[in-house]
Structure 1
Amino acid sequence: MERHRSQISEVINRNTVVSLALEQGFNAFLPVYDGGVDFILYRESDRELRKVQLKGRWTIDRKYVGRDIWIAFPLAGDWYLMPHDEMVATAGAATRTTSWIGNGLYSRPRLSAAMVKACAPYRFTSIARVADEAADQAAA
């Protein structure tokens, strides 16, 4: 049953991020094979393409370096979509940890004020606001 709970959480999180991206004009596509990309966001108006890896927290992973992957992660009740390589560049001391050096992986459930500031340009609009606006439009 625990496996199903985590799968359900992942689907809910994916749908939340996709809903937030739709509000910004993106469409979402699911790859047939997950080679490190959970879904693809594409906005036709400016041809913006984002290959997205969904995480439950701020996470960097060496296997994503140089692949133009964007990491979607929650932080303090909001969702962020940030380029992975920029996350690595702003990680600071995290790239000097045993976890990063030995395993090529580092994650944090909470971030320093400086890291939150670095992530700020990539914060989505509140999902509650997006849902309220969609409900208002549907009622009109």
Structure 2
Amino acid sequence: MAKLPGEAIEVINRNALVSLALTRGYIAFLPVYDGGVDFILYNESTNDVQKVQLKSRWTIDTKYQGRGIVVAFPDRGCWYLVPHDELVRMADGYGFTAQTSWTKPGGAYSYAPLSKRMVEDLKPYRFERLEVVTERAAVEASE
């Protein structure tokens, strides 16, 4: 199988995350212009709006601070959807915010794979595994 281009990987990952979000009552909207928000999740029952930045790994970036953005990323088969500013708070506790890549102007920091501590800290933000959700949908469709 040929290596997928980055754009294809992003579409596949976005669709996977949207599928997971559907199980929590969200629908997805794609912005006409990406100014730091890859897509928007909206839950009509709770009136919750999530401005999502899709990443390939745990990431913090100074350009997302204070904007109400949530970062979505996979790690070892699990997807996470975490408020960016909460990731920065966690990063401070891990010592990541002392790294030069974060402290320089326009700083950012990413990390993969997640440590055991990070997996535990991120548990409230973890989705069910995609294969569990798709299997359940397939069973329900056949009923």
Match of 1:121 among 110, 119, 124: 124
Aligned residue number for residue 140 of structure 2: 137
| C-alpha displacement of 1:76 | 1.6
| C-alpha displacement of 1:113 | 2.0
| TM alignment of 1:1-140, pairs within 5 A | 5-92=5-92, 93-102=95-104, 103-140=106-143
Deviations 1:96-130 (A, max 9, x none): 00100114100011222222211111000110011
Q: TM-score, normalised by structure 1?
A: 0.95
State how far apart, in whole Å, the 2-side matches of 1:53 and 1:19 are: 16
State how far apart, in whole Å, the 1-side matches of 2:6 and 2:85 are: 27
Letter in 1 for 2:142: A
C-alpha RMSD over aligned residues: 1.3
Query: Percent of pairs identical after alignment?
Result: 55
State how far apart, in whole Å, the 1-side matches of 2:121 and 2:68 are: 18
Letter in 2 for 1:95: T
| C-alpha displacement of 1:68 | 0.5
Structure 2 unmatched runs, 5+: none
User: Could you list the runs of 4 or more consecutive aligned residues of structure 1 that deviate by over 2 angstroms after TM superposition?
Assistant: none
- Is contact 1:91–1:115 with CA below 8 Å preserved after alignment? no
**Which structure has the highest helix share of the two?**
1
